Chain A
Amino acid sequence: MEGEHPASQARSSDLRPGGGAPFAGSSGSSTLLQADVLDLEEDEDDLEVFSKDASLMDMNSFSPMMPTSPLSMINQIKFEDETDLKDLFITVDAPESHVTTIETFITYRIITKTSRGEFDSSEFEVRRRYQDFLWLKGKLEEVHPTLIIPPLPEKFIVKGMVDRFNDDFIETRRKALHKFLNRIADHPTLTFNEDFKIFLTAQAWEFMEMNNFIEIFSQKINLIDKISQRIYKEERDYFDEMKEYGPIHILWSASEEDLVDTLRGVASCIDKCCKATEKRMSGLSEVLLPVVHEYVLYSEMLMGVMKRRDQIQAELDSKVEALTYKKGDPDLLTEEIGKLEDKVECANNALKADWERWKLNMQNDIKSAFTDMAEENIHYYEQCLATWESFLTSQTDLHLEEDSEDKL
């Protein structure tokens, strides 16, 4: 629901208590708000931090009325005592329940109005859920670790058996989320954060995470491919040198009568380890390298898929824009938009389903490839260990034999 509703509706059972209540600057509504708060039990106070804050809020941050047009924003400014120019206005309202096969969750509508040049448009409407707010907070903390990021309402109330879909809970949360975004908008540094902008404007939100993943995954898998190839090369070089190492001991044994056994023993161990290295190398090239390389190719593939999805979305967007700016036959456009919306929905659902499947497969493949590689290495070391240990035993046995001979 658009517009304002009197604060008294805060207690209604309607799932949509409406936005605007915090905007009611009159002290009447705030006293009512306070009354709500006081009804809560003592130990729940700390959980509902923002409700209390609402009564202490700085009235200057929120204008009495939500401006409905950019022009009115300028008018609004004139009434303000604020010396700063406010060019970003955000509301959080219209909570909606979404049910999917996996889960049920609430999204909130976020309307952004701005006159800033960096924004492609002056108005944005998006839907975000609580975990998206968490994402935003995380990103801000990452980029500005020592700035004071506004707090978010808590994830879930444990006490008091209040369930997530209770009206009061939703309304309280909505207000808190609204507060959160506006505090960021008012912050001189945070307001220009890129992720903030994405949060407020990005339409293909679900795919944003995916895009991010694919980008980083692609980077990392390419690196792993390079590293794995390099390891193979180093092992090959090591093998080549080792081949020469053993025979020198045989050569030496020709001039040392008393050390023949020991030297030959060492030579034989080195040769055996050499063979084990060869086996390890071939193991690496069988279990790890092909898998990693396949996923390098996959990552390229994925980027292509994302591009194509974006293209389909872009087709729809351009038609919508055309309709908005009245370019072309509205009826035809509306029909085309209808078809494209279906196409986009199909594409998105297909991608989402396939994405989950792909990720699962990737995890399994990577997991078994690396587990196998580790196994190859363990086997290699076990073989070498056995070789050297049997040499050592033979030497100490010999030693004991010699000793007993001396004593005779």
Chain B
Amino acid sequence: MEQAPPDPEKQLKPATLEPLGRPDPGLEAVAGEEAERAREEGSEADTMTDNNFGLKKIEISVSEAEKRTGRNAMNMQETYTAYLIETRSVEHADGQSVLTDSLWRRYSEFELLRNYLLVYYPHIVVPPLPEKRAEFVWHKLSADNMDPDFVERRRIGLENFLLRVASHPILCRDKIFYLFLTQEGNWKETVNETGFQLKADSRLKALNATFRVKNPDKRFTELKHYSDELQSVISHLLRVRARVADRLYGVYKVHGNYGRVFSEWSAIEKEMGDGLQSAGHHMDVYASSIDDILEDEEHYADQLKEYLFYAEALRAVCRKHELMQYDLEMAAQDLASKKQQCEELATGTVRTFSLKGMTTKLFGQETPEQREARIKVLEEQINEGEQQLKSKNLEGREFVKNAWTDIERFKEQKNRDLKEALISYAVMQISMCKKGIQVWTNAKECFSKM
């Protein structure tokens, strides 16, 4: 249907979006310019309108997190965290940004938004949300959702999610997304009014399709395989990383004991006393340096986690394809069988088994008029079927084309982001080594002066 896919080079632009490595808020997204070049959406056009994002640069930030208490659906008191979302528009002229909207949302509302996007943009690899519960924790990290460090990391994750959506050429134009950022009250009702939950494919249907589909596009089969591998390897990596972090923490912290004992020992030493005491101090510094080091590593882990969750998003697109393909195959099969039935009725030969055929045999032939009526019905159905098949085919091909474009876009983004994450990991290691050299050099000096 629509024009050529966007220029891949320009697609790189949304990388003004920094991956999760940077903890500070207020990261920018250049949404509008890409939207101009974006491809139009297909059948679900009614949920998408040209919105304000079309032409302006916007900045989105999740700037604060606050504990709240309220009553939930079952009228029970609950504690939850609310996040402040601030949207600023940047005027082209002077580059100044002005706050245009600011509202509070909780995690469940983000989930609602994402579920909506999943239904209405099944061909898009929808950015994932940060994890609901802390996983892959090493022992010192709290797995508690209310823990301030977890909340902080989640705040960054949610901001990242919004930035990803805002910089996606298609998703950024979605009205519900726009309202999410601008309309505090009533947004939930608005989303639910779209009836997206009804449009969602049932899990059972999808599972069934996955098993039964005969000819899915090979690329999607490969993609599914890839996403499984991605998920498995990143999970494994995160698990081992958490264990390594745990051990490293142990090594550093035990050295802190030296500090205490050296200090006590120095009390009975005359010449050695000073050296011991100051060396002990450096041991304390060494022991406490691990906290910052591991906190930085946590951000790296979050970057990897995002792609762990992206694997699921990839699979969702594959599932949709399988569902559509299966649907198509079923429709084709149905059409073929109807055609055959029709032919048999017309020629009088029974090649296929049918209940009608059996009963006819058992209870006597039907009248020619009856047969004519049946042929007519079948011919109508065949006609309809052929139309449907045609449109399903078209739909299917359209889906594959659009999906594949987004997948290519995703792949480029993934390669960029992961490479950057790995490099930032190297940078972290370098910093850790430098700190280590410094502390031990100082300690060595104290020891040699004893």
Where the two chains meet, the residues of A that have a C-beta atom closer than 8 Å to any C-beta of B are 212-213, 216-217, 220, 223-224, 227, 230-231, 234-235, 237-238, 240-242, 244-245, 248-249, 251-252, 255-256, 258-259, 262-263, 265-266, 269, 273, 363, 366-367, 370-371, 374-375, 377-378, 380-382, 384-385, 388-389, 391-392, 395
Contacts and interface: CB of A to CB of B under 8 A. Distances in A.
Given A245-B240, A252-B233, A392-B423, A217 B272 contact: no
Which of B265, B418, B422, B429 gathers most chain A CB within 10 Å? B429
Contact of B429 (A212, A217, A388): A388
B24 interface: no
B447 interface: yes
Nearest to B228: A255
B80 interface: no
A43 B72 CA distance: 84
Given A238-B250, A381-B437, A374 B444 contact: yes
A367 B447 contact: yes
Given A241-B240, A259-B418, A269-B429, A377 B447 contact: no
24 contacts: A217-B268, A220-B261, A224-B261, A227-B261, A231-B251, A234-B247, A238-B247, A242-B244, A262-B419, A265-B422, A363-B271, A363-B272, A367-B275, A367-B450, A371-B448, A374-B443, A374-B447, A380-B436, A382-B437, A385-B437, A388-B429, A388-B430, A391-B426, A395-B423
B272 A395 contact: no
B179 interface: no
Interface in B392-427: 415, 418-419, 422-423, 425-427
B279 interface: yes
A203 to B, nearest CB: 22
B441 A378 contact: yes
A382 B433 CA distance: 7
Given A241-B243, A382-B437, A392-B430, A230 B254 contact: yes
Contact of A366 (B226, B254, B272, B422): B272
Contacts of B418: 256, 259, 262
B244 A262 contact: no
Interface of B: 226, 229-230, 233-234, 236-237, 240-241, 243-244, 246-248, 250-251, 254-255, 257-258, 261, 264-265, 267-269, 271-272, 275, 279, 415, 418-419, 422-423, 425-427, 429-430, 433-434, 436-437, 440-441, 443-444, 447-448, 450
Contacts, number: 141
A237 B247 contact: yes
Contacts of B261: 220, 223-224, 227
A248 B236 contact: yes
Contacts of A266: 422, 425-426
A212 B268 contact: yes
Contact of A223 (B240, B243, B257): B257
B433 A388 contact: yes
Contacts of A244: 240
B416 to A, nearest CB: 9
A56 to B, nearest CB: 38
Given A227-B261, A245-B240, 20 more contacts: A220-B261, A227-B258, A234-B254, A238-B248, A238-B250, A238-B251, A241-B243, A241-B247, A252-B237, A259-B415, A259-B418, A266-B426, A273-B429, A367-B272, A367-B447, A367-B448, A370-B279, A381-B433, A381-B434, A381-B436
A223 B233 CA distance: 42
A34 B383 CA distance: 136
A256 B230 CA distance: 9
Contacts of A385: 430, 433-434, 437
Nearest to A236: B247
B133 to A, nearest CB: 23
Contacts of A223: 257, 261
B429 A384 contact: yes
Contact of A220 (B230, B264, B422, B426): B264
Residue among B237, B433, B448 with max Cβ neighbours from chain A (10 Å): B433
A281 to B, nearest CB: 10
Nearest to B9: A406
B288 to A, nearest CB: 16
For the complex of A and B, list the 10 residue pairs with the smallest distance between their C-beta atoms, beginning with the closest: A374-B444, A238-B247, A385-B433, A381-B436, A220-B265, A234-B250, A377-B440, A370-B447, A371-B447, A234-B251
